[in-house]
Amino acid sequence: MDVISACRQGLAHVAAQPAGLPSALFFAGLTGSLVHCVGMCGPFVLGQVMADAEKGAVGSYGEWQRLAGASLIPYHLGRLTTYTALGAAAGAATAVFTATSTFAWLSSVLLLIAAALMLLQAFGLAAGTASPLTAGLARLAGPLSSSRGPAARYALGVVLGFLPCGLLYGALAAAAGTASLREGAFAMAAFASGTVPALVAVGWGGLIVRRRLQSVARWIAAPLLLANAALMLALAASRL
């Protein structure tokens, strides 16, 4: 019982910190990307890297150019733009309730939804991505993924930032719970940043790294996502 009490107090302390939610969403993005993003966005990352490799076959394409190109900075900046804008919109949408007596309950419910979606992701039961929206975004992304220009790659990141998934829904619910345009944007920027390392690793290492990341994820992602869900619950409790 003392251990449970200590864990509860520790979660409450973290939840009370200003950086509590952004930190939780950063680690949610970091761990969730191992089981989700490398599978969903990995093909688009590899498409861009292969386009660079084909270009390099004609001219000089050293190791440094390969590694720098595989980091795909414009693409990740595009995803960061979309996620930050979605977070700002989610926070602004609930900001109108901050002066009402229902705000604490609304904020808590949104954080509970975020916790539930994290739990579903941890157990491999996240909402499916097959939808008309997904198909439409994939059609838009196809031509962009083979482009070598930074503007097209930035646009690809913007487009793919809208791909629906349970992990994104959970992060947006948590951002909406802030009832603040600035805090919602910051929280989703942290989430987007967390998804970058796994995709950069896929760009550098290709299919082999993608398979290994997904294999490792089975062991480490679920516990960390469970911890994130627990923190969301603590944040929900703190709002009440």
Rounded to two decimals, the pTM is 0.78
Task: Name the nearest CA neighbour of 107 among 166, 175, 171, 165.
Answer: 175
What is the residue type of 152? A
205 pLDDT higher than 50: yes
The model's pLDDT over 109-126, given as tens digits with 9 standing for 90+, comes to 888 888 888 888 777 665
pLDDT, greater one: 132 or 27? 27
Give the pLDDT of residue 184: 93
What is the residue type of 42? G
Tokens 């084909």 label which residue? 54
Domain ranges of the chain: 24-239
Confidence of residue 23 (pLDDT cuts 50, 70, 90): confident
| Phi–psi pair at 198, nearest 5 degrees | -65, -40
| Phi–psi pair at 3, nearest 5 degrees | -65, -45
Residue 200 burial (CB count, 10 A): 18
Task: Name the nearest CA neighbour of 221 among 27, 42, 14, 39.
Answer: 27
Confidence of residue 177 (pLDDT cuts 50, 70, 90): confident
Q: How far apart are CA 165 and CA 50, in angstroms?
A: 26
